[in-house]
Amino acid sequence: MSLERPVAPDPYDLLPQVPTFTVTSEDVAQGQPLADAQVADGGNTSPQLSWSGAPEGTKSYVVTCYDPDAPTPSGFWHWVLVDLPADCTSLPAGAGSGEGDLPGNAFMCRNDMSTKDFAGAAPPPGDQVHRYYFVVHAVTEDTLGVDSDASAAVVSFNLAFKTAGRAIVSGTYQH
């Protein structure tokens, strides 16, 4: 069964513009298919990410993974990692496992699977190619002001007022 529908816009084009900085990954190549490790039924492992050049005054980071192409009106949030300290400039693969130590007082909020970890790509079989936006948000405050039960929408709302810059790398996946 094919779910024919228009491609969703780039969600970050719809937000107020902020300075950009650089994010790279050993696991995600811009515009290329995700590796099996980043797929729900292939490994469910968050990718390695490194970033540099964040705006001056950055006090913390939020890292998210969002799929605007999910067949829902609100897309699908795969990962929400909040309150990374300003001196953190990378995450190893698997940092989103929900196990182990995160830097400083960082924590994960609920994704759209209602878990506090990274949920790998899982588009419906036969659906169009999905895009997965891995975004590092430079934040103007030491904390975003949410707790781990905050929804991705609440985290995004808070980011609207506290984002100093944004770095994006996106991959794709289709069953």
Q: Taking a C-beta distance cutoff of 8 angstroms, is the pair 75, 67 a contact? A: yes
The reply to whether 68 falls in a domain is yes
To 10 degrees, the CA torsion angle through 21, 131, 140, 13? 80
The reply to whether 129 falls in a domain is yes
Nearest CA to 148 among 80, 60, 62? Answer: 80
10-residue stretch averages of pLDDT, the chain, 175 residues long? 75 95 98 97 94 98 97 96 98 90 95 97 94 98 97 96 98 95
CA distances from 16 to 13, 42, 140 (A): 8, 35, 15
The reply to whether 66 falls in a domain is yes
The reply to whether 7 falls in a domain is no
Query: Domain of 144?
Result: 13-163
The reply to whether 119 falls in a domain is yes
The reply to whether 114 falls in a domain is yes
pLDDT at 98: 80
To 10 degrees, the CA torsion angle through 110, 147, 137, 128? 10
**DSSP code for 66:** E
pLDDT at 110: 96
Q: For the chain, how many structural domains are there in total?
A: 1
The reply to whether 91 falls in a domain is yes
The reply to whether 64 falls in a domain is yes
CATH of the domain at 66: 3.90.280.10
pLDDT at 31: 96
pLDDT at 2: 53
